[in-house]
Structure 1
Amino acid sequence: MESRRVSPVFVGRAGELTELTAGLARAGRGEPQAYVIGGEAGIGKSRLLDEVLAAARSGGAVTAVGSCVELGADGLPFAPVAAVLRSLHRQLGAELAEAATGQLGEFARLLPELGDEARPASGDALDRMRLFELTARLLERLSADRSLVVAIEDLHWSDRSTRELLAYLFRSVQRSRLVLLATYRADDLHRRHPLRPFLAELDRLRSVRRIELSRLSDAEVQAQMAGITGGAPDPALARSVFERSEGNPFFVEELTANGGAGRGLSESLRDLLLVRVEALPEGVQELLRIAAEAGSSVEHALLAQVAGLPEPELLAALRAAVGAYLLVPTEDGDGYRFRHALMREAVVDDLLPGERARLHRRFAEALEAGHGLVPAGERAARLASHWYHAGDGARALPAVLEAATEAGRRYAYAEQLRLLERAIELWDTVPGPVLAGLRPVEPIWAYPESEAPGRPVDYPDLLAEATMAAVLSEEKDRVLTLSRQALRVLDARAEPLRAAWFWLQRSRGHGGLGRSDGQAELDRAKELVQGLAPSVVHAQILAQVAARNSLDLPSPEIFETAERAVEMARLVGAERTELYARFTRGCLLADSGDVAGGLAEMSAVIERVIEGSDVSLMSRSLVNYAATLGEVGEFQRASEAVARGMEIADRYDLREARGWLSANHAEALIALGRWPEAAAEAAAALRQSRDPRPRAGARLVAAHLALLRGDVPAARRDLAATRAEIHTPDLNPGMAVNLARVEVELAAAEGRIADVRSALSAAMSAGFPPFTAYHAWEVFLAAATAEAESRGLPAAEAGRPAAVAAIRAAMAFAPRAIPVWAALGRLVDAQLKRAEGRPAEARWAEAVEALEPFELPHHLAVARLGWAEALLAEGGPQARERAVEPLRQAGETALALGAAPLRERVARLAARAGLSLLPPEPAEPPAPADSFNLTPRERDVLALVAVGRSNRQIAEELFISPKTASVHVSNILAKLDVTGRGEAAALAHRLRLVPVPAER
């Protein structure tokens, strides 16, 4: 019988192939598709991919494949993307250049064959995001009129830059016939593997589908064996192969082939895989060892150079390796790779340490001696890796620095950081003459004194480059570690500017991590630059000082510092720092009362930031602009600004910005009276945020909303969760005031008047810095309302005069320059009169009139209720008649909002006055889910089924076992009387059995 080793029959993947083929059809109709295919090594991911690509090509699609390489961790970023571009360039030629719309030079950073680079990289996230956007638009144009299938294999080896580009493509590509496919080895994903959070993020995207390949059944293994051998297998052999392979297709191939040849098998996997290698001539085995140590693939020219064999012998050995199904040609036909990664790993593991070092040296020497052996964009990283693993530090350090330069040129800052840390590791092992010949990785813009051409790099320079790479890759812990290391070796008296720069990075790092405010580090940086000539560092420090001081209590120096920062940045030509400082100045203007001028300045900066795709300034600008609009009472504009900010955050993958924006949006929606939307936004902020600060902000907003609705237990839980996740000193000033508001409101709701007073006292001692005026007035309102509501209670009366006096004393310093603040101030004034038991009909009327221009339905209803109460207290038919309308309006608003405490107050007042103004509250019909007798846990499971979660994903999200999740799903299907998950999801959506929030 013929033995093919690879079955011509595609076995056991009919369902997955059908799903992917259906995706190709949808893409053909203009709906972009994305799939991530996972499974253990040898499970058949590549075979499935080959079948899909073949089907796509037969339908007229263009296909391109790129593979991640193990070298990615050593600084070969975007390798699969470059391979895809190379394939498209080879297939489409001029069409690719036309689709790039004059930006082909940008793509030359990834694939030098495309031409010269358009311009030098500026060394920041701006160019990186532009490259991502250009890539997305390029793929959209190429797939506008025909299907384009782009496949990325072996994501478990991917570099961070590739993952971030893929995530950007998954989110942003629309209106095209593009299909994105990616594969990964699931058994390689240990608990801290960087691909795990990436996959978790993809699970939240409806646009990405996950396919997990399972092992073959007994019958499927027999079918595969029949395809390999050309006939039905012997039952005993089939049983043995199934038991030993456990349904893994690759192991089935190996076991079938060896079993057919009658060879004995070792019990270890490595020995099993090496059986066929050891059966080959020694010359072929040596060639396989060389190819294995080269990486996941090796070019023919490089292999020939390292092997040193005459061409006939080399070709004969390659034919033997390919004929034994150990090597296969790469897609571009220029080299070879192992047919399966497990086989390559077995060959590498069989090498002795000395053999590996010797092979790495031979590869490094070959790469240094000859150009054109590998793609130009890969040469630096591969040379650095080979010299490093060869153990030659003197040769490795210059190569690593060159590779770091290349990574930075590609905007791959995470990989650049890894390389620079490797250079730091090598520094002390390298002789002085080698160090004297090194040059900086990039122009070190931070240090004017180091800009002289030809100046050799020193150790602090290297630490500065690594620190900047850590900043750009958002690895804040590494920023702190590297800057601390630099400050240990720098003499601040001799080089104050360089030391100040590192102190500035430490301040930003501490602030970014939320562990402290970074003020001490910033003060040290400011001290070091005093008296020095103007510089970029000086401007950056001033801008940071202005931003930081704007969070403290108001002072005349705040504006002066912001103005100096703007002027200094202009003087030294630091445009980004100037924009940062201008935005701070705009915030200060708005908060000081010049709302129109401040918002105009902030808006102008935002437009400039968006126009330049300046990602480094986007998050701060978008989030703080929306927050400022809410702070000055422009809640509808704030909501619109959040919507635009979300669109930009999604476009540029600004993950934490989305959490902050959702929290800000929830606050604005509460003010506007759109409470269900506010609850959904607060929940979205919790889902989207990893930073504890926006999560704390979202929980405080949720607690405030719960108290407005009368759900005291929910508010108590949210407050406790906030305190458990973040300490009060780590909250920014705005959230600290929000915390005080919730503490006062909760204590009042629970009747703890003493705690109301102590919470207010604590808030007053902390002060109310800029950008907190609106919430400060809400704190005063909560405290004043608590005093008014507790009139007549013996425990509250004793301390009331002092408490009211304390509120008035705090209010004396609260600004009323902006109309919405003044309106809230009138409402607090009226509540304090009520707390004192003094008639205040005129004060309440003024509060109603002041609040009516604003979209603050709950506040206005509170004012109308107070006005009606004051009128009824006056007595007389005329006053009673005047009280009817504001009381009715307050009741209608309370009912519409679902503000249970306010509605109860209206009902009590109406009952005391003998007025019947409110329609009876309708009895709540049973929830639709209750009519199906679903348990609370089953409703939770159904909500996840309705958004397409698998049993495994449901189990992970609800902290239950997959088996328990499966039981719940079965019970749900039975209770709903449906036949499958899809029908259950459709029924849940149609009947609103569960709240399913919209996916962002």
Structure 2
Amino acid sequence: MSVSFATMDGMAVDHAAPLVGRDEELAQLKAAIGLSGDAGSGAVLLGGDAGIGKTRLVTELVDQARDAGRQILVGHCLDLGDSALPFAPFAEAFSSLDDADRERITAEAPALGPMISAAPAGGDRADILSAVARGLDALAETGPILLVVEDAHWAEASTRHALQFVLARRFVNDVAVVVTYRTDDLHRRHPLRTAVAEWSRLPGVRRVELAPLDDVSVAALLRSREESRLTQAGVSAIVRRAGGNAFYAEELLDAGLADGALPESLADLVLVRLDRLDDDARQVVAAVASGGGRASDDILAEVVGLEPARFDAAVRDALDHKVLVLRDGGLAFRHALLAEAVREDLLPGQRIRQHAAFLAALTRPGAEGAAREIAHHAEGAGDLATAFTASIDAAVEAVCIGGYDEAAGHYQRALTMLEAAPEGTDVVALLLSTAEALTGAGRLRTAAKLLRAQLDQSGLSELDRGRLLVALGDVTFFSDDDDGALEVSAEALAVVPDERTELRARAEALRARTFSSVRRWDEALEHAERALAIAEELDAVEIALDAQGTSTYVLSRTGLEVDKAHRLYLDLIESTRASGDVHSELRALQHLAFVHFNAGNLPEAEQYFREGMARAEATGRSWAPYGFDGRFFAAVTSYVRGRWDDVLALQKVDDGVPKLVRNTLDSVALLVAAGRGQEPAKGEVARLRGEWAHDLALAVHSGTAMIELQGNAGDAVAATEVHDALADLLARTWHSTLSPARLRMTSLLLSAHAATAGQRSAAENQATVEWATALVAEVDHVLIEWPTLGPEGHAWHQRMHAELGRLRWLTGVDPLPVAELERLWRTALESFDQLGDPYEHARSATRLAAVLSAAGRDAEAEELLAGARQVAQEIGAKPLLAEISSGAAPERSADLTRREREVLELVSVGRTNGEIAAQLFISTKTASVHVSNILAKLGASSRTEAAAIANRRGLL
């Protein structure tokens, strides 16, 4: 029993694993034992299910307590039944002391002697209880103590009495106690159940129950354990199965089983609890497992077939042993893995009979079985015809309440049972419904794959081919694949007869949308008008709203005043809400938000983006086209407005979201990381770059963040590689020579090259400036291709020219006059100020301040730096703060002699010492001395850097 717990080695805990999701509980424990404030006695009863993380939390508490100077004593209760040693955890704890401390406390409390030596305890129990308390008090004379008693659910009577005595004791010295126990073991007749209730009422005792970890915390735990082979889908699967239990999650991870059968060791561990149940209770539990892990009381009684008294007794037994719990008016497993283990333990014949019994109960006259339950049990019982029909009914029900993920699952199951479908079933209609549900769930790639697979089938009629092509065109359009959408929409128009039908109207509306996305405005309006004419004639409201939405979008992007566009979109939103067309409503909200974003009205833009996000969440379309866009562009707008914590809040989504959704949100969060100078998580940059081809918005935002990250690191070469790769992608996929994103990309790249000017030779800087000048001339054409470019684009265009001027200034290559450089930076500063972008305003102010300092206008420079510093501190922009600090004390002109200034002029144009000597009629040695003096006075390490510094300070 004598084990050293100096480092809590006796606890089965991975010390390298981070503590996740338990900040609040740790704070409660620290407060209770006096660790977070003044030292003082206190006690905590820490309960939670097996594997929930009690020991890991206590280990963290012990580490912090030890760091704070507390002595640590730890004892465990063991599952030895009647063979358990009385007072075992106290004997273990005292035995871990060194010889001097043991002698000291046994001198104070002699009754502890036999306990510490693991001999049978003698004497009166009251004497031993008193000795335990006196021993702890004596030990605490030399410093505060933390006593931890683990697994009190296994405590025998003597230990429970000792705990009662210690918890009720008023110690003279500082003694804190933490007792852990498993709540899932405390059935109604468990002796600790009453004890815990009594102890909780004692003064100074706090009871803390650990709830399951939330999904985000479980995912973080898994990623801390496995960074390479675990996919996002694997994380999501384990999170779903583990149910917030850290131990279960780690067992599933270590077994490599995100899906599939439970690891045998874990299944055995879970099933041990069932051994305590009687036969009737096992029968009830098996039926609940067959029912999908949850069942209503009346249906379950009918399935089990026990007479009422026996059924009630069986249910009570399962509840008492914490196998089942009451939930939502029925019975459910306490943990999902219990249901899995029980279900997998059933024999095949048992499963079929159980499903058949459930099916009979759910479909008898008068029963109101849910379609999803009927489908589940019909499939399990082998009744595929009933399962097919019920799966479709379940999908329709799910769509009605916004459950697009669930609907997609029901439709996909129905597709696997087509052989049992009723005669005359419209398979194409079923496919279209499946694709629509997948689209509503944000699973666009899966929807496109499903539709393309059907189009590859032979024997399709022209009508069915047209229906599939229109649906595929919609999915492709929503995937931001402009080329693909143009191709599919053209094929759809060629296949669908030019008649006054809804299908033709849909094809025309699709074609209008695809043309609008590539700015072919006249053709977009032409097809929108055709779609609208047919839709109005057929009273097809949804199609009419689609066409109206395209027309309004075209007008808003071709010079319509903001106020008029705003009113048009408000009218359109009202119409879509009146008709119940949520998809068109979300589209109109997004386009209205962009009207304001493109006009530079960022608060209004964010308002409508967030309204779209909220509406999408309320209707179950959070990840659907336009639904997710509300969240994404709200994050983008928050970033521009300098509300970076809001960006990170919007980034946090459940693990079950589509992969592209998470990646796109992560791309905006990467911008925040770059601005704050934070190192991205391992593999994050490579992961996002691998997704560039799937989404241009993801590519643009993560790519610009990567350019800035490389600039922060002082690696202009790496920044150039990222820029060129992103520019190449945009050139290949954007329907114009240049994307507006090039303005920002170029500005950030030039900034990286300007910051590293001192690292290059004069010749290298000459080549860099020539390359940069040509690049800016190319990107200037963005303004020609995008005549309706908004304030943000114009601000970055002005910033690009200011960065080019800065590069020329710092390299000394064809530098602009100080007045012109000031004008460029002041224009950029004012543009970002009007836009409402505090970060870029502060960066522009910092660089303008450097120009003013060089001109000797120190007071103006310091005023600009003070404002920039405040912004940088508020948003946590560490790289900007470093740049501000470097310019906080404006550089003064060096005290150069007239001859040194003449030498410096020649150094700046690349003359050698010999050439300087010849031109100034001095010796080469004297020229060398002058150059050395100049370098020392300027604080430069090279002739190139000296020239750059001299140019920046206006010494030339």
TM-score, normalised with respect to structure 2: 0.50
Matched, 1:810 2:786: no
Match of 2:780, as an amino acid? M
Aligned sequence identity (%): 20
Using the TM superposition, give the Cα deviation of residue 828 of structure 1 relative to its aligned residue in structure 2, in angstroms.
Answer: 3.2
For the 8 Å contact 2:829–2:841, the answer to whether it is kept is yes
Determine the structure 2 residue equivalent to 1:795: 764
Determine the structure 2 residue equivalent to 1:634: 601
In 2, the alpha carbon distance for the partners of 1:777 and 1:532 equals 44
Matched, 1:428 2:391: no
Using the TM superposition, give the Cα deviation of residue 795 of structure 1 relative to its aligned residue in structure 2, in angstroms.
Answer: 1.6
**Which of 837, 851, 857 is 2:815 aligned to?**
837
Match of 1:428, as an amino acid? E
Determine the structure 1 residue equivalent to 2:743: 777
Determine the structure 1 residue equivalent to 2:797: 825
In 1, the alpha carbon distance for the partners of 2:314 and 2:287 equals 17
In 2, the alpha carbon distance for the partners of 1:299 and 1:700 equals 48
Using the TM superposition, give the Cα deviation of residue 401 of structure 1 relative to its aligned residue in structure 2, in angstroms.
Answer: 6.0
Using the TM superposition, give the Cα deviation of residue 738 of structure 1 relative to its aligned residue in structure 2, in angstroms.
Answer: 3.1
Query: Counterpart of 2:425 in 1: which secondary structure?
Result: coil
Q: State the Cα RMSD in Å.
A: 6.1
CA pair 583-745 structure 1, distance change in 2 beyond 3 A: farther
Query: Counterpart of 1:533 in 2: which secondary structure?
Result: coil
In 2, the alpha carbon distance for the partners of 1:865 and 1:894 equals 7
1:213-243 alpha-carbon deviations (Å, 9 max, x no partner): 9xxxxxxxxxxxxxxxxxxxxxxxxxxxxxx
Using the TM superposition, give the Cα deviation of residue 900 of structure 1 relative to its aligned residue in structure 2, in angstroms.
Answer: 2.3
In 2, the alpha carbon distance for the partners of 1:665 and 1:325 equals 53
Determine the structure 2 residue equivalent to 1:122: none
Match of 2:819, as an amino acid? E
Alignment of 1:811-890 (within 5 A): 811-814=780-783, 815=786, 817-818=788-789, 820=791, 821-834=793-806, 835=808, 836-839=814-817, 841=819, 843-844=823-824, 846-847=827-828, 853-861=834-842, 883-884=857-858, 886-890=860-864
For the 8 Å contact 2:842–2:868, the answer to whether it is kept is yes
For the 8 Å contact 1:744–1:782, the answer to whether it is kept is yes
1:29-76 alpha-carbon deviations (Å, 9 max, x no partner): xxxxxxxx9979xxxxxxxxxxxxxxxxxxxxxxxxxxxxxxxxxxxx
Matched, 1:892 2:859: no
In 2, the alpha carbon distance for the partners of 1:771 and 1:605 equals 33
Using the TM superposition, give the Cα deviation of residue 903 of structure 1 relative to its aligned residue in structure 2, in angstroms.
Answer: 1.4
Matched, 1:742 2:742: no
Query: Counterpart of 1:798 in 2: which secondary structure?
Result: helix
Match of 1:796, as an amino acid? N
Match of 1:636, as an amino acid? P
Using the TM superposition, give the Cα deviation of residue 458 of structure 1 relative to its aligned residue in structure 2, in angstroms.
Answer: 4.0
- Structure 2 segments unaligned to the other structure (5+ residues): 1-24, 26-46, 51-210, 215-232, 249-267, 318-324, 809-813, 873-879, 896-956
CA pair 458-618 structure 1, distance change in 2 beyond 3 A: closer
Using the TM superposition, give the Cα deviation of residue 253 of structure 1 relative to its aligned residue in structure 2, in angstroms.
Answer: 5.8
CA pair 392-868 structure 1, distance change in 2 beyond 3 A: closer
Determine the structure 1 residue equivalent to 2:488: 522
For the 8 Å contact 2:606–2:634, the answer to whether it is kept is yes
Using the TM superposition, give the Cα deviation of residue 579 of structure 1 relative to its aligned residue in structure 2, in angstroms.
Answer: 3.9
- Structure 1 segments unaligned to the other structure (5+ residues): 1-18, 20-36, 41-180, 185-190, 204-209, 214-243, 255-272, 278-286, 308-313, 437-455, 915-1000
Using the TM superposition, give the Cα deviation of residue 671 of structure 1 relative to its aligned residue in structure 2, in angstroms.
Answer: 3.6
In 2, the alpha carbon distance for the partners of 1:192 and 1:585 equals 44
Match of 1:777, as an amino acid? L
Determine the structure 2 residue equivalent to 1:503: 469
For the 8 Å contact 2:590–2:612, the answer to whether it is kept is yes
Query: Counterpart of 1:457 in 2: which secondary structure?
Result: coil
Alignment of 1:316-335 (within 5 A): 318=307, 322=311, 325=314
Using the TM superposition, give the Cα deviation of residue 811 of structure 1 relative to its aligned residue in structure 2, in angstroms.
Answer: 1.1
1:888-911 alpha-carbon deviations (Å, 9 max, x no partner): 342122211222254156447554
For the 8 Å contact 1:397–1:423, the answer to whether it is kept is yes
Match of 2:861, as an amino acid? L
Using the TM superposition, give the Cα deviation of residue 808 of structure 1 relative to its aligned residue in structure 2, in angstroms.
Answer: 1.5
Determine the structure 1 residue equivalent to 2:229: none
Match of 1:841, as an amino acid? A
CA pair 590-890 structure 1, distance change in 2 beyond 3 A: farther
1:177-205 alpha-carbon deviations (Å, 9 max, x no partner): xxxx99x9xxxxxx9899975699x98xx
Query: Counterpart of 2:492 in 1: which secondary structure?
Result: helix
For the 8 Å contact 1:291–1:298, the answer to whether it is kept is no
Query: Counterpart of 2:782 in 1: which secondary structure?
Result: coil
In 1, the alpha carbon distance for the partners of 2:518 and 2:529 equals 17
For the 8 Å contact 2:663–2:688, the answer to whether it is kept is yes
Using the TM superposition, give the Cα deviation of residue 837 of structure 1 relative to its aligned residue in structure 2, in angstroms.
Answer: 1.4
In 1, the alpha carbon distance for the partners of 2:776 and 2:499 equals 48
For the 8 Å contact 2:747–2:800, the answer to whether it is kept is yes
Alignment of 1:157-236 (within 5 A): none
Match of 1:797, as an amino acid? Q
Determine the structure 2 residue equivalent to 1:219: none
Matched, 1:903 2:869: no
CA pair 574-365 structure 1, distance change in 2 beyond 3 A: same
Match of 2:743, as an amino acid? W
Using the TM superposition, give the Cα deviation of residue 810 of structure 1 relative to its aligned residue in structure 2, in angstroms.
Answer: 1.9
For the 8 Å contact 1:417–1:469, the answer to whether it is kept is yes
For the 8 Å contact 1:543–1:565, the answer to whether it is kept is yes
Query: Counterpart of 1:502 in 2: which secondary structure?
Result: helix
Determine the structure 2 residue equivalent to 1:532: 498
Alignment of 1:238-317 (within 5 A): 252=276, 254=278, 273=279
CA pair 475-726 structure 1, distance change in 2 beyond 3 A: same
Using the TM superposition, give the Cα deviation of residue 807 of structure 1 relative to its aligned residue in structure 2, in angstroms.
Answer: 1.2
TM-score, normalised with respect to structure 1: 0.48
Using the TM superposition, give the Cα deviation of residue 424 of structure 1 relative to its aligned residue in structure 2, in angstroms.
Answer: 4.0
Determine the structure 2 residue equivalent to 1:668: 637
State how many pairs are aligned: 618
Query: Counterpart of 1:428 in 2: which secondary structure?
Result: helix
In 1, the alpha carbon distance for the partners of 2:694 and 2:396 equals 38
In 1, the alpha carbon distance for the partners of 2:345 and 2:740 equals 69
For the 8 Å contact 2:647–2:668, the answer to whether it is kept is no
In 1, the alpha carbon distance for the partners of 2:763 and 2:673 equals 28
Determine the structure 2 residue equivalent to 1:997: none
For the 8 Å contact 2:469–2:492, the answer to whether it is kept is no
**Which of 409, 425, 429 is 1:457 aligned to?**
425
CA pair 784-501 structure 1, distance change in 2 beyond 3 A: same
Using the TM superposition, give the Cα deviation of residue 412 of structure 1 relative to its aligned residue in structure 2, in angstroms.
Answer: 6.2
In 1, the alpha carbon distance for the partners of 2:355 and 2:538 equals 47
In 2, the alpha carbon distance for the partners of 1:598 and 1:908 equals 49
Which segment is superposed worse, 471-480 or 809-818? 471-480
CA pair 533-358 structure 1, distance change in 2 beyond 3 A: same
